[in-house]
Chain A
Amino acid sequence: MRILVVEDDTEAANYMVKAFREAGHVADHVGDGIEGYARARDENYDVLIVDRMLPKLDGLSLIGSLRAQNIQTPVLILSALGQVDDRVKGLRAGGDDYLAKPYAFSELLARVEVLARRNRAGAGEETFYRVNGLELDRLAHKLTRDGKDIPLQPREFRLLEYLMKHAGQVVTRTMLLENVWDYHFDPQTNVIDVHISRLRAKIDKGFDPPLLQTIRGAGYMIRDGSR
């Protein structure tokens, strides 16, 4: 996928570009808001990564200008301002996701991949997910594996739904807390891990292959282990 990084700190941007390339993506870097706006408007990127504080044109104005031109490329805002109200402001300005500096690259990569995929898949929400023999029916609120019913509590259902919606993609702990619980704080203890192991016990125990996998140093992923 093609990624545009709009960031005035060249060193940080170089790390980012290099890491995206290692992950198999194409990444370009520009150093100020005006150029960032021009490139984002004229070229076809899958995701924009925009710093909030930029020379010439600040990040939020850049996003505002793009959205005013009806350019809907997903934008992830990077900012040193990471408090709740900063995030709300960023998302209101037209950003699709918000990540506070300093960040772990694995977190950034996971979010960017989810953003790009969401855009490609279109706006329509699916109602049925299937990975290997695991089938989740959103409308009937029903989960089966290899035809066997697996009862889940509502929150477990939403957790699994989010994982299956992004099957094949890394989902980080903070992404889960944000999307399944709708909180953005950082729990001191890894409460998410315990929820995952509970869920794993329900959907993977006694079945083969294991579908809910831990990606070391990054997060979790549902994938068809046989592939």
Chain B
Amino acid sequence: MALGKLFRTTAFKISIAYLVISAVGAGLVLGTIGWNMKHVIEDQISQTIDTNIAGLSEQYALGGIRRLVNIIHRRTRRPGAGLYLVTTPAGEPIAGNVVSLPPDILSHSGQIEMAYAMPGDTGGKHRALARIFVLDGGFRLLVGHDLEEGARLRAILQDALLTSLFWLVVVGTLGGLWVARRVLNRVDAINANARAIVAGDLSKRLPLAGTGDELDRLVQNFNGMLDRISILMAGLKDVSDNIAHDLKTPLTRLRGGVEQALRTAKTPEDYRGALEKALDESERLIQIFDALLSIARAEAGAGREGMTDFDAGSVARDVGELYEPLAEERGIALTISAGTGLTLHGSRELVGQAIANLADNALKYGAPEGAASAAAGTVEISARRSCGFIEISVADHGPGIAEEDRMRVLDRFVRLENARSRPGSGLGLSLAMAVARLHNGSLHLEDNKPGLRVVIRLPAAPRRRDAEVSLAQTKPDKAA
């Protein structure tokens, strides 16, 4: 079972593939060597034969057939001698060590390959390379050389090839199994931890081998992903804790007020007062609930199908005008500077609400503290185009938000210390942020020196109503 698992691993399959490639390579190399050697040997043999023939025909010219026969007798008696045969012009053998010859071979001239047998040979015929030379008197001289040497070499090479293939297969398979086992062990360890994580232990991480190889890099990335998920989960838990807290607080007040009225109220006026309070509390609960729903909807990307093209400038002017009397009542000068033709594709309603939330915040928290300069009492709402984006900003000259708090205030229900005494749910900025993201945009908190400037950057609607183009334009910003 475990072995079957090993055989199925990718590492093993890759090893086998390499094995086959190496085997074919080795075969080709040895084959080429063998083929080349055969040629070299044959060349050498034919040269030797030529030299012999030249020498023998010289001896024949010097001492006639008798001398030649003597020399051949002498030569054939030496061990490992070549093939020699002298015949009469009619083909009768006179001297030599070749017994059986293929018929008609002597009428050939030049170099031939033939089968022959030696006297006393029992092991069948051998192959030899030979040359027939016709001497002056019509005698024929055959000089040959055994080819068994080449065959033996080929056999050695074949042997070497088979042996090396055998070892290649054995070592390759074992090596493949070893590599596969190593990789499998690591993958098994990763899988075990992954299962633990799936089972709910998000604190676990995948094991690193420390080799820095591709598996390690993969593991590192997965661990990074897990870190990100943990952060998100923690955020989610914070959110639900906050929701529980911020909804339960008014619920507790509501319940406490009703209980107290039931216990202590005596006159109809007492009851009326208690009921009015209860109504106020339930109203606040509904507001928080609605705001949470709006944020959740926007974050989930709901309402995209209802989006239209609208002018962000006129929305900014509308909201500014809506809040202007309130600002005046609070002694704050509200100025609006909005260009024209700032076309956005999105939800006019949600963008309007986002700007309204920012304006509301600016009027609530951006008010000058104590006696301040004239500039302190101004809030500016502006909308302008900035290279493919539409920037809507609301700026005040109040105390601002410290750099370290800026990320925090975007979370749901976060209210800074000096805001706790004033009414509010801590959801306004969260909703504005969610709306910005719904429109593929972003929200930034900046230092207005002094004060706070909140900027919503939204991608401007493409001039042509082409969804593909709009998507392509917004992507880089999302990645950033």
> Interface digits, B289-308 against A, CB 8 Å rule (1 contact, 0 not)?
01001100100001101100
Residues of B within 8 A of A102 (CB): 282, 286
> In the complex, which residues 336-374 of chain B have their Cβ closer than 8 Å to any Cβ of chain A?
347, 349-350, 352-353, 356-357, 360, 363-364
Count of chain B residues near A, Cβ 8 A = 33
Residues of A within 8 A of B322 (CB): 181, 183, 187, 191, 195
Closest to B357 in A: A188
Closest to A192 in B: B322
Residues of A within 8 A of B302 (CB): 83, 85
Contact A194 B286 (CB under 8 A): no
Contact B306 A88 (CB under 8 A): yes
> Is there a chain A Cβ closer than 8 Å to B321's Cβ?
yes
Contact A188 B424 (CB under 8 A): yes
Contact of B364 among A82, A181, A189, A191 (CB under 8 A): A189
Contact A189 B326 (CB under 8 A): yes
Contact B360 A181 (CB under 8 A): no
> In the complex, which residues 398-422 of chain B have their Cβ closer than 8 Å to any Cβ of chain A?
none
> In the complex, which residues 65-91 of chain A have their Cβ closer than 8 Å to any Cβ of chain B?
82-85, 88
> Interface digits, A186-216 against B, CB 8 Å rule (1 contact, 0 not)?
1111010011011000000000000000000
Scoring A85, A104, A184 by chain B CB atoms within 10 A of each residue's CB, the highest score goes to A85
> Is there a chain A Cβ closer than 8 Å to B287's Cβ?
yes
Please give the distance in Å from A205's CB to the nearest CB on chain B.
15
CA distance A173 to B381 in the complex (A): 24
> Is there a chain B Cβ closer than 8 Å to A142's Cβ?
no
Contact B329 A194 (CB under 8 A): yes
CA distance A198 to B198 in the complex (A): 62
Contact A191 B428 (CB under 8 A): no
Contact of B356 among A82, A84, A187 (CB under 8 A): A187
Closest to B364 in A: A189
Contact of B353 among A82, A155, A185 (CB under 8 A): A185
Residues of B within 8 A of A187 (CB): 322, 356, 360
> Is there a chain A Cβ closer than 8 Å to B325's Cβ?
yes
CA distance A82 to B296 in the complex (A): 13
Contact of B297 among A83, A185, A188 (CB under 8 A): A83
Contact A155 B350 (CB under 8 A): no
Contact of B347 among A84, A188, A197 (CB under 8 A): A84
Please give the distance in Å from B41's CB to the nearest CB on chain A.
91
Please give the distance in Å from B353's CB to the nearest CB on chain A.
4
Q: A188-B360, A194-B329 are in contact. Are A84 and B287 (CB under 8 A)?
A: no
Please give the distance in Å from A170's CB to the nearest CB on chain B.
18
Contact B347 A183 (CB under 8 A): no
Contact B325 A186 (CB under 8 A): no
Scoring B286, B350, B364 by chain A CB atoms within 10 A of each residue's CB, the highest score goes to B286
Contact A189 B360 (CB under 8 A): yes
CA distance A85 to B302 in the complex (A): 9
CA distance A183 to B317 in the complex (A): 13
Residues of A within 8 A of B303 (CB): 83-85
Closest to A87 in B: B349
Residues of B within 8 A of A155 (CB): 321
Closest to B315 in A: A183
A sample of 14 more A-B contacts (CB under 8 A), given A183-B322, A184-B349, A188-B287, is: A84-B306, A84-B347, A85-B302, A85-B303, A85-B305, A88-B306, A155-B321, A181-B322, A183-B353, A185-B356, A187-B356, A191-B322, A194-B329, A198-B325
Q: Which 8 A-B pairs have the closest CB atoms?
A: A185-B353, A194-B325, A85-B303, A85-B306, A84-B349, A194-B326, A188-B360, A191-B326
Binding site for B on A (CB under 8 A): 82-85, 88, 100, 102, 104, 155, 181, 183-189, 191, 194-195, 197-198
